[in-house]
A = this chain, B = another copy of it.
Amino acid sequence: MKYSIDHKSPIPLHVQAEALLREIIEDPDYQNGKLLPNEVELARQLAISRTTLRQAINKLVYEGLLIRKKRTGTKVAQGTVSSKSNNWLSFSQEMKVRGITIKNFEFHVSWVTPDETLANFFEIKTDRKVLKMERVRGRPGEPFVYFISYFHPRIGLTGDEDFKRPLYELLENDYSVVATLSKEEISAHAAEPYIANKLRIADGSPVLFRKRFVFDQGERPIEYNLGYYKADSFVYTVESRR
């Protein structure tokens, strides 16, 4: 059997099952409409209960990745050729692809107490300190983005890490934290003085503002990121299918 589930792992079975499903449905056969093994059978193969398996399938159905039909079976939703990991390049990698060399203008790490929103997202109390990282980056002579990142204390970052390395690689290799899901909100604003100063633009100039909520495999929050991009310096691309 190609795929299997580790009953000794501390990772919940339904999470393992979910991850596993995400993998197997990459298989061209399934992408082309082949039915998955039926629930009873698949549960047997994975040596988990049908209920647990359904817990996993449910999430993918809810996401629109799988389609269930009574008496027929479950198959991969057509057209959802998955995810496009395009989105998941780090900033420096992203820029490298475009042939832009990146300069760091400012870099600052500190421990701060979270505000209401942040504490809420991290599901921690407001007196628990979190690591804040600020960065101003751009091309030589022209800063064009100001980042603020907050990291969940659970991860165990100290603030002394080598942040020159790509961030998600660092988290993955040294802290076994795998960023899996990101929810982003993008809007346009007029730059406040503080932001304008960082980006060396006039007060009130347009900026693209991106809020990013990042989660690990278990959908636990790991990073909250704010990005202020100087207008015209950044284009956000999205591809979506229904």
Interface of A toward B, CB cutoff 8 Å: 59, 62, 67, 69, 77-80, 82-85, 87-88, 116-117, 120-121, 123, 179-190, 205-209, 217, 229, 231-232, 234-242
Contacts and interface: CB of A to CB of B under 8 A. Distances in A.
Contacts of A62: 59, 62
Contacts of A120: 67, 77-80
Copies of this chain, tallied across the complex? 2
Contacts of A232: 187-189
A57 to B, nearest CB: 13
B240 A188 contact: no
A85 to B, nearest CB: 5
B184 A238 contact: yes
A163 to B, nearest CB: 21
Given A181-B241, A189-B231, A206-B207, 13 more contacts: A80-B117, A80-B120, A82-B241, A83-B242, A181-B239, A184-B238, A186-B208, A187-B208, A187-B231, A188-B206, A188-B207, A188-B231, A205-B206
A238 B79 contact: no
A2 to B, nearest CB: 21
30 contacts: A67-B123, A78-B116, A79-B117, A79-B217, A80-B121, A82-B241, A83-B240, A83-B242, A85-B242, A87-B238, A88-B242, A181-B241, A182-B240, A183-B238, A184-B237, A185-B236, A185-B237, A186-B186, A186-B208, A186-B235, A186-B237, A186-B238, A187-B232, A187-B236, A188-B188, A188-B189, A188-B209, A188-B231, A190-B205, A206-B231
